[in-house]
Structure 1
Amino acid sequence: MIQAQTAAPPHAKVTAILLFTTLMWGGSFLFNKIGMREVPPVHFFFFRFALAALLMGGVCLPRLARLNRHIAVRGAVVGLALAAVNLTFVLGVSGTTISRAGYLNNLFVLFIPLLTFALWRERVDRVTFGGIALAVVGLWALASGGAEGFNQGDLLSTVCALFIAIHIIAVSRVLRDEDVYLVTFVQFVTVAAVGLVLCLVLPWPEFTIGRAGAWSLAYCALFPTVICFTLQNAYQRFTTPTRAGLIYTLDPVWSMLFGVFILGERLTPRELAGCVLILMAVAGPLLARLYLEQRHRRLYRLDGAEGT
């Protein structure tokens, strides 16, 4: 199993695997959009995670004896945050283009420092403030560039970015040394349970899952859910958060390429400018932090060399 590795894998391998996860996550925008042509968004959300929970349960069969109340409670807490992420994700993608949704989802990088400041008064640096200001300009360009302006799908995609930030913070604050496979399994079960409740409470519309819907559900349950979460949990710990964040900024690039070349989506020049500004707003602070990390590392090495 992946988690059994004790030695850190080569940096190139870690980067390649995390890049692969961004490609699969980018594909989830496409397959959600295709699948929801046949299956209503909330029901697609439920079926995806019910199937993912079954698949992850099979992976975790040898580990289920170690599932205890501690893991169940902590997995359920982060699972509720993950449910909020994916519910707003499917509702957002169903109401806007996957190109716009991908860039709006990426705003989670800027929401994280704002939330940590609001909750724990952690300082927000000037570079991050600059990124937030640039993101606001990008949002304005995106909103004024489309035929419908900033629609409900765009709003839900932005809210989804907020919930992504909450989920990331919850994982870092709640989880410690738990078995990542069992925690992931509990998360999926929790999300599926939320989806089931919503499906029972809301009216059940008539729909038929055809070939496109079935393949879309299978892809979304297996690749961006079971495989991506497992790879992320197993390999992200071997790189810095800054490097991982920079790699993850490729998600909206893939979603836009899939939207343009497969779904035939087109962005107006102002919409495209808005997407570029949002990407710069997200990547800029991360690049600045990466530069500072490398600079501090070089200074540390120089100090160590002088000390010897």
Structure 2
Amino acid sequence: MELIQRRWANLSLLAVTAVWGATFIVVKRATEDLAPFPFLAIRFAIAFITLLPFVWVGRHHLTKTGIWKGLALGCFLFGGYATQTIGMQYTTASNAGFITGLSVVLVPALVTSTTHKLPHPTLVLGIISATLGLALLSLGDNLRFNQGDLLVLICAFFFALHIFFVGRYAPTENATVLAAGQILAVSILSTLFSLIFPQGSLQFTSYAWFGILLTAIPATSLAFYIQTKMQQFTTPTQTALICSAEPVFSALFAFLLAGEILPLRGLTGAALVLAGMLTAELSGSQEDLESKEGLRP
């Protein structure tokens, strides 16, 4: 039963990753009209509003602990978005894509540092495969280190912390409360950054609103609820491996929607990322994974 739950959870997380990959091209185009922080502030505010009825229905699950944990998750999530957004101004998109994807390595490192147990050898193999795949997908022939790379590495740490702590909190806290808390935190912090720092384009065009409305529910409220709910049945390391497929889905939808074709190098990278995910999925029983990652309290 637990193995079946884990596989359903991983499939659900893969579907969320596919949604994030599918909306990447939309977000990229929408933020040309509306600067990233105002875009995030409105997107996450709408997402929070859509979750409010469900929070009200399950208000008996509201606890101070759950609310504070949700807000803390939101701080990690916003930290990832903020450092990535600022860092990308001082580095290349390829460097940013690869360095952000290094959360696939950072999550098991966090797990190992807290449990003092190394990941299962097949999980290590999956991590290596996914990392090599990300490198082939993201990095060009002329690898250069830029000023923004350190900021993007900090972004990868924030995203890794988010995945890690969702895995810690999800088994004991209500998923709706955690999802609503983190979405609210991102909206508030994005609004503050919009007011404090100079913003670029602030054109509320029809496409900007299209991007906001399209991403607010499927890619935000629904996606983070599913992630929070499903991580109680799987491990942070497997979640990170699944999320590493986001650039694969991004490339797939870029081909379907914009006709962009991956070169052989990119196709090889995509295959390695998927191979890493499959290796992790076939790496053993749920009990073995839980004991190695300290998933159970």
Check whether TM > 0.5.
yes
Aligned match of 1:283 in 257, 265, 277? Answer: 277
In 2, Cα distance between equivalents of 1:117 and 1:10: 24
Kindly provide the CA deviation profile for residues 70-105 of structure 1, in whole angstroms up to 9, marking residues without a partner as x: 2222212111111123334555778766x9866664
Q: Distance in 1 between matches of 2:114 and 2:234?
A: 26
Q: How does 1:265-276 map to 2 (within 5 A)?
A: 265-270=260-265, 272-274=267-269, 276=271
Q: Are 1:59 and 2:54 an aligned pair?
A: yes
User: 1:139 maps to what in 2?
Assistant: 135
* Residue 209 of structure 2 is aligned to residue 217 of structure 1: no
Query: Which residue of structure 2 lines up, in the alignment, with residue 170 of structure 1?
Result: 165
TM-score (norm 2): 0.74
Alignment of 1:185-196 (within 5 A): 185-196=180-191
Match of 1:293 among 276, 285, 288: 285
RMSD: 4.1
| Matching of residue 84 in structure 1 with residue 76 in structure 2 | no
Superposed displacement of residue 112, structure 1: 1.1
Structure 1 residues 168 and 13, CA, compared in 2 at 3 Å: closer, same or farther? closer
Question: Are 1:38 and 1:209, in contact at CA under 8 Å, matched by a contact in 2?
Answer: yes
Change (3 A) 1:118 1:242: closer
1:32 and 1:118, CA in 2 relative to 1: closer, same or farther beyond 3 A? same
- What is the rounded CA distance, in whole Å, between the counterparts of 2:165 and 2:51 in structure 1? 21
Write the letter of the residue equivalent to 1:29.
Answer: F
> How many residues align structurally?
286
Which amino acid in 2 is paired with 1:226? Answer: S
- TM-score (normalised: structure 1): 0.72
Matched letter for residue 280 of structure 2: L
Are residue 73 (structure 1) and residue 65 (structure 2) matched? no
Contact 2:33 2:208 in 1 (8 A): yes
Identity %: 27
Match runs of 1:3-18 below 5 Å: 17-18=12-13
Structure 1 unmatched ranges of 5 or more: 1-6, 298-308
Match of 1:302 in 2: none
Instruction: Give the stretch that moved more between structures: 32-41 or 110-119.
Output: 110-119
- How much has 1:167 moved relative to structure 2? 0.7
Radius of gyration: which is bigger? 1
TM superposition shift of 1:34: 1.8
Task: Please tell me the residue identity of whatever aligns with 2:284.
Answer: L
CA distance in 2, matches of 1:113, 1:66: 30
Residue identity in the other structure for 1:223: P
Letter in 2 for 1:47: I
- Structure 1 CA distance for aligned equivalents of residues 54 and 7 of structure 2: 27
1:39 deviation in Å?
Answer: 1.0
By how many angstroms is 1:195 displaced?
Answer: 0.7
Shift of 1:228: 1.5
| CA shift in 2, pair 1:163/1:206, >3 Å | closer
CA 1:30 to 1:88, structure 2 compared with 1: closer, same or farther past 3 Å?
A: farther
Match of 1:113 in 2: 108
CA-CA distance at 1:145 after TM superposition: 2.4
CA distance in 1, matches of 2:248, 2:136: 20
Q: Deviation at 1:160?
A: 3.7
Distance 1:13 1:169, change over 3 A: closer
Q: What is the letter of the counterpart of residue 85 of structure 1?
A: G
Change (3 A) 1:96 1:32: farther
Gaps of 5+ in 2: 290-297
